[in-house]
Amino acid sequence: MLQIAGVNSDHLLGVGVSIPGVVRREDNAVVRDILQRELNCPVIVENNVKAFAEAELIYGSGKDQENLLFVKWGPGVGACFVLHKQIYESRRFQSAEIGHMTVEWEDAQRHLCLGWLETRVSAHAVADQVRQRCTRSAMPLLYRNRRGDVSSIAAHNIDEWIACGDSGMWQVIEESIDLLARAVTNVATFLAPDQTIFYGDLFELPTIRERFLAACQRYNTDCRAEGFSRSQLSDKLEYIGPLAIVVDRLFLNRRVTSDLNQ
């Protein structure tokens, strides 16, 4: 990347890396150590959702709001709280694991099944459910759109097949939208953030975004449209989070709870 950009490695101030899962920044993380050794510069590793929240605090809505709730919807489902302009995390470096909220509990002949939100509403889960239920009779428009090849219904091309507008397809997708909206409104009702900011691949699709906001208002009539907004940094999703954690650590030096307790 440095060669492509024509940047001399001597001019490299630092590298930001955002990854899914729990990140213990002060530990000797293997990812960080390998990159620092190879690049010979500071490397900061952070959870991807918290990194994006950091970007919002520096470049986006966080400049004007005190308390924020971030919701990401794409290959995974994630969330993050900002309280008084600081990213909240527990002593175990965890933040809001909204994707691990229990949304189903079945007891079919004593066989218990625990259902997490992410297993039902992630982009892969949505595509799987549509693909499994797509037949010539149940979803005629989508079946024709895919020329009978239901295996081509996948998360990576959801923007292509969702455009067919099949009513049977939307019925399946609405189930996932409903589950996510219920979880988000419950969390937002409890925390009462100044703003709920959403981003991610599925929120980039206008039809899904509109149906999600409508579902949120069904579950909580106090959900004002102006209180929910798509991130203004969505088009910079691939790099803005890693950039923000480097800017914060090397220049602003205002970190989340765990750093403040060092």
pLDDT at 92: 59
DSSP one-letter string for 133-168: H--TTTSHHHHHHTTT-GGG--GGGHHHHGGG--HH
**pLDDT band at residue 243 under the 50/70/90 scheme:** very high
pLDDT tens-digit profile of 76-107?
999 999 988 888 876 655 666 788 888 766 65
Distance CA 240, CA 262 (A): 26
pLDDT at 9: 79
More confident residue, 249 or 222: 249
Q: Is the pLDDT of residue 187 over 70?
A: yes
Closest C-alpha among 47, 54, 53, 55 to residue 76 = 47
Helix residue spans in 192-256 (DSSP H): 206-219, 240-247
pLDDT at 64: 84
pLDDT at 31: 80
More confident residue, 228 or 97: 228
Q: Is the pLDDT of residue 53 over 90?
A: yes
Q: Is the pLDDT of residue 40 over 90?
A: no
Single-letter amino acid code for the residue at 127: A
**pLDDT band at residue 3 under the 50/70/90 scheme:** confident
pLDDT at 258: 41
**Residue 205 to residues 121, 123, 160, 177, 228: CA-CA distances in angstroms?**
15, 12, 10, 13, 16
* Mean pLDDT, rounded, of the chain: 86
**pLDDT band at residue 33 under the 50/70/90 scheme:** confident
Complete edge-to-edge strand list for the sheet that includes strand 86-87: 86-87, 77-83, 68-73, 195-199, 228-230
Distance CA 50, CA 93 (A): 10
pLDDT at 211: 96
